[in-house]
Amino acid sequence: MSQAPFTNPVDSGRPIVAMLLYPGLTLLDLVAPHTAFSPVMDVLLVWKDLGPITSDAGVRVHPTTTFAQCPGEVDVLFVPGGRDQAATAEDEEVLEFLEDRGGRARYLTAVCGGSLILGAAGLLRGRRAATHWTGRDVLGLLGAENVSERVVVDGNLITGGGVTAGLDFGLVVLARMFGEDVAKMAQLAMEYDPQPPFDAGSPEKAGPRLADLVRGATSGTNDDMIRAVTRLTERGWGGARKVPTT
């Protein structure tokens, strides 16, 4: 996945969405909202440098701007989830970028484990949020209230559940920013008319046997995130209140 280098976004007249990239991100977490956003917003794919980022599916994504070059104020700040999200959640440079841009963004947003990365940056304290069902217990450790819904809106914070919830999430953001007709047109253009072959898209519907199998397969990611939260708290991030340096 590539995109032409982005130039002069301030003069485009369109809202700006900054989408965080990082090694091991889940591709659909990024691509589903990107598909909804790109026709009506200027999308910045942001990372520390402009070298390609490899997703957890092995697909390379090319950043279009760096943390340093990203505008100080963006309309939407977005964070996807990923298999290696714990390492990103502990990255001081990432946390400082999210804290800075997130504190000024019109909308603060995430899908799947991206909510946990926002929480690592201290941006979910006292807020209602969604994440992938296997990571719901971590939200409380980050000072957030877990809401087991596909998309959760809490003021300017909009978060989605796991992976495919990014499509629903993207349409909710469009409706908030441009009105329901724009969101409905985007849904129709994508022919987003879900008719899954199985009714097993949530742990409640899939049942305990399948839920346990999936939970076991993803336990490494979740365990890493829980350990990261402990270290983040010791550093004043996550659910802890940072003490200003003097």
Active site residues: 112
Buried b / exposed e along 101-125 (16+ C-beta atoms within 10 A): bbeebebbbbbbbbbbbbbbbbbbe
Distances 57 to 112, 116, 196 between C-alpha atoms, Å: 16, 20, 22
Cβ(61)–Cβ(34) below 8 Å:
no
Rounded Cα distance, 161 and 87, in Å: 20
Q: Where are the alpha helices (DSSP H) in 121-179?
A: 136-141, 165-178
Residue of 91, 123, 107 whose CA lies nearest to 24: 91
Residue of 195, 174, 199 whose CA lies nearest to 184: 174
Pairing of strands 76-79, 16-20: parallel
Rounded Cα distance, 242 and 108, in Å: 20
Cβ(64)–Cβ(5) below 8 Å:
yes
Backbone region of residue 207 per phi and psi (left: phi > 0; alpha: psi in -120 to 50; beta: other values): left
DSSP secondary structure string for all residues of 18-52: EEE--TTB-HHHHHHHHHHHTTTSEEEEEESSSS-
